Amino acid sequence: MDRIRIGLVGCGGMGTRHLYGLRELRRTGLANAEIVAVCDPKQENAELAASEAERLFDRRPEVFASVSEMAERCKGLDAADVVTEPHLHHAVACAALERGLHVMVEKPMGLTVKACRRMIETAARHNRKLSVNENYRRDPVNRLIRQVIDKGLIGRPYQMIHHSAGGGDRVVITPWRHLKARGGITLDVGVHFADIILYYLGDAASVFGSAEVVREVRHRPANPNRPYEFHKRRLAGMEETVRPTAEDVSAATVRMASGAAVDWRLDMAAKRMGYFRRAVYGTKGAIDCPGERNGRPATLHPEDREKPLVGREILGMLPDFELDPVTSALFGKKAVEYPFSPDEADLKILALEYHEFAEAILNDRPPEVDGVAGLKAVALIYAILESSVAGTSLRLEDVEVGKVDAYQREIDEAIGI
C-alpha cells in the first residue's frame, strides 16, 4: 500500500496524541501514512516526540526546528500535520503549503476567520490539500445520527438543543486556552460543537448570542490531562493560577439556512450540576444524541412508535447503513455503540483522520473537512462572540467574509494579520 510521508509540526501534548492515533491506524493493517519527521522550535519537545515515535514505530523520524528546514531537507516529504498552538496554525500551515506540502491542521483551523481565509487562499494558490481535524463527526454514533436525519426518520428538523456545562474554576488543560489573544476556551471547545451542528443540519444563517467571563481566576489542574510524559512535564511547570481574558460562558440562538433553530449553551465555568444534552427535534420524531467518544447509544423517538429505538435497534430502520471499512476495522462493524474508553475512542478517531487525509492526497479528492468547512465552524463561534459585542443578531455570511470582526480585531493584531 502507498503511504504518504508526513512531518509532525508541533510536538506538544496534542502532537503526542497524534503519534498514538497513527499507531492505531497501523494496527488495522490499513495504514496509508507514516511519520518521517518531527518539527518543533523547542528541541527538547522535538526529541521527546522523536523518541516516542521510535518506540511506537521502530523507526526514529528526522528532527527539525522549522517547517522551512523540514521541507528542504526531508526527502520525499508529502505533507505536514500541524499540531501547534492555534495562534500559530495559519503561519505554520501557510509556510508548509507555500513549500509544496499538503496540510492537515488541528482544530480550530485558524485563530480567527481572517486566519482561516488566508489558509484557504494559500492552499488554492499552491494547489495543495488542506484538511481540518474535526474529530467529533467521525464518531460512529454521529455517522448514525446524520443518517437518521438525512433519511427523514425524524421528518424535517426544526430544532436542536446543544447544552454543555462543566469546567469549574480549574484551568482547562492549558492556561493559553483562557486568553483571548490565543482564541479562548469558547473557541477551543466550542468549535467541536459548531462543526457537529453544521454536520447535522447544514449551513447556519444567523446568530444572536451573548458571552462573558465568569471565572476571573482559574487554578492549576490537579492532574495531567493525559498519561504521556509531555503532559506530566507541562503540568509540573504550570503556574498555580491564571487570570482569564476570554469568555468561558456563552448562550445563543442559531438560525440555520434550513429554518431550523439551535439553542446553544456552553458553560465552562459550572462547578456543580455539570451536564451535557444534545437532541434534534423533527416533524416526525426526535433523536437524543449522547455525545462523542463515550460509546453510548443514540435514542430515536419516532412519533409513530410507542417505544424508542436505542442504539443498534435503529439499524432496523436503516437497512443500508454502513460504516466505511476503516471505521469498521477500528470500532467494529455496525459499531453504533462501543465498549472503548474515551481515550481509546479518541485515538481511533485520530487514526481515521490520518487515513482520510492520506486518501485525499493519494486519490486527489477533497478532504471531508476542507478549509471552507473549517472556516464555517470557526465563524459560527465568532458569530456568537461578535453578536455579544454588537448586541444584535448577525448574519453568518457577514462574519465569514470578514464584514463583521469587532471582537476579532485585537486577536488579528496579536497574531500579526
Q: What is the pLDDT along the chain (417 residues), one digit of tens a residue?
A: 699 999 999 999 899 999 999 999 999 999 999 999 999 999 999 999 999 999 999 999 999 999 999 999 999 999 999 999 999 999 999 999 999 999 999 999 999 999 999 999 999 999 999 999 999 999 999 999 999 999 999 999 999 999 999 999 999 888 889 999 999 999 999 999 999 999 999 999 999 999 999 999 998 887 766 666 666 777 777 788 989 999 999 999 999 999 999 999 999 999 999 999 999 999 999 999 999 999 999 999 999 999 999 999 999 999 999 999 999 999 999 899 999 999 999 999 999 999 999 999 999 999 999 999 999 999 999 999 999 999 999 999 999 999 999 999 999 999 999
For position 227, what pLDDT does the model report? 67
Question: Going by C-beta distance under 8 Å and a sequence separation of 6 or more, which residues neighbour residue 387?
Answer: 207, 208, 209, 210, 252, 393, 394
CATH of domain 4-136+365-370: 3.40.50.720
For position 240, what pLDDT does the model report? 85
Q: pTM score > 0.85 for this model?
A: yes
Cα angle, residue 402 at apex, residues 400 and 405 outer, rounded to 5°: 110
SS3 content of the chain, % helix, strand, coil (to 5): 40, 20, 35
C-alpha grid cell for residue 391? 448586541
Is the sign of the CA dihedral 297, 321, 301, 274 positive or negative?
positive
State the Cα–Cα distance between residues 142 and 148, nearest whole angstrom.
10
- Scan for cell 487562499, then name that residue: 121
For position 236, what pLDDT does the model report? 76
State the Cα–Cα distance between residues 173 and 242, nearest whole angstrom.
12
Q: Regarding the domain delimited by 140-338, which CATH topology (the fold level of the hierarchy) does it fall under?
A: Dihydrodipicolinate Reductase; domain 2 (3.30.360)
DSSP letter at 170? B
Give bridge partners of residue 140 from the DSSP assignment.
none
C-alpha grid cell for residue 288? 437524543
Give the residue from 213, 182, 249, 88 showing the smallest Cα distance to 411: 182
State the Cα–Cα distance between residues 88 and 111, nearest whole angstrom.
8
Give the residue from 104, 86, 115 showing the smallest Cα distance to 379: 115
Is the sign of the CA dihedral 343, 344, 349, 353 positive or negative?
positive
**Beta strand 62-64 pairing with 79-82:** unpaired
**What b/e readout covers 116-141, taking b as 16+ CB neighbours within 10 angstroms?**
bbbbbebbeebebbbbbbbbbbbbbb
- What Rg, from alpha-carbon coordinates, does the chain have? 21
C-alpha grid cell for residue 65? 526546528
State the Cα–Cα distance between residues 104 and 280, nearest whole angstrom.
30
The residue extents of the domains of the chain are 4-136+365-370, 140-338
- Alpha-carbon distance values, 71 to 65, 78, 95, 152, 334 (Å): 11, 9, 9, 48, 41
For position 175, what pLDDT does the model report? 86
Give bridge partners of residue 133 from the DSSP assignment.
106
